Amino acid sequence: MSAGGGTKAILAALGANAGIAVAKFIGFAITGASSMLAEAVHSVADTSNQGLLLLGQKTSQRKADKDHPFGYGRDRYFYSFIVALMLFTLGSAFAIYEGIHKLQHPEPLTTPIVAVVILVVAIGLETYSFRTAIVESRKIKGDVSWWGFIRQSRTPELPVVLLEDAGALFGLVFALFGVGLSVITGDPVWDAVGTLMIGALLGVIAVILIIEMKSLLIGEGATNVELDKIETAIAGGRVQRLIHIRTQYVGPDELLVAAKIALEPGLPLAEVASEIDGAEQRIRDAVPTARLIYLEPDLDRTPANT
């Protein structure tokens, strides 16, 4: 996937979160609602996160050099991992701390209608951002489920934005729940409960992202579908069989393929080179992200059946 779709989703989320963060801080200053403060910090974290994702896209475009012969594609994985850590520390940890603090020292809300209006408007803006992420993700998701897309995608930005936007929407609903019940019951403890719910939600999302981004950062191979296409593409011409293969994504748009293939015995050197070139072209046609291909020719030493 090119970075275009991911960039569009990131920019939509960036604009929405920046405006929402300002509104939430104003709402907290007026109402004193802890859930509003937790959501404001959450929006600041999300805004910073989108900036980091854009930075990762920019730095990953640097050309390969002597120190990094496979390029800088993994910068996108690195910054996505930092985003997950920020979501956990600035979002989840702060919300849980604030929720516990307000449970211990509850304070009545002032002018709660302001918080309700801000939250309702924020839900509308986050819905727009979430819809943009869904539309862009569907272009590359294929037939897999949304959970499968998050787990299997080798492009980090869209899964990150999807989970962030989903967390933001549910967080706003939790904040509305806490403020609403505080108004209805006259008990500010419900505001603290809503804040704790926001913290728990962000914690779960952050842990999921940390696990997935860590896996990408360490290095993941081709998906099962891609691997099947590569193995099928290798067969052809005078290639007798695939002996073994190793794959790894060195960036979201660049797959490294290394394989040993058995060729017909007795082929002249020129024909060996031609067969390797043909196999490489078939692989690239089948899986366009397979840009770095190293094929080692060998003889088929499988013992004959007796």
Amino acid letter for position 10:
I
The reported pLDDT for the residue numbered 2 is: 46
Range 3-218: architecture per CATH: Up-down Bundle (1.20)
Q: Which two tokens stand for residue 185?
A: 């019951």
pLDDT digits 0-9 by tens, 204-243: 999 999 999 999 888 899 988 899 999 999 988 888 889 9
Number of H helices and E strands in the chain, helices first, is: 10, 3
Distances (CA, A) of 124 to 17, 34, 83, 187: 12, 21, 24, 27
Q: Which residues contact 104 (CB under 8 A, 6 or more apart)?
A: none
Tens digit of each residue's pLDDT (9 = 90 or more) over 251-273: 888 999 999 999 988 889 999 99
Where in the chain are the domains? 3-218, 224-299
Q: Report the CATH number of the 224-299 domain.
A: 3.30.70.1350
Q: Averaging pLDDT over each range in 35-39, 145-149, 262-266, 275-279, which range is the top one?
A: 275-279
Phi/psi zone of residue 71: left (φ > 0), alpha (ψ -120 to 50 degrees), beta? left
pLDDT for 108: 81
What's the pLDDT tens digit per position in 40-80? 887 888 888 888 889 988 998 899 888 898 888 899 999 99
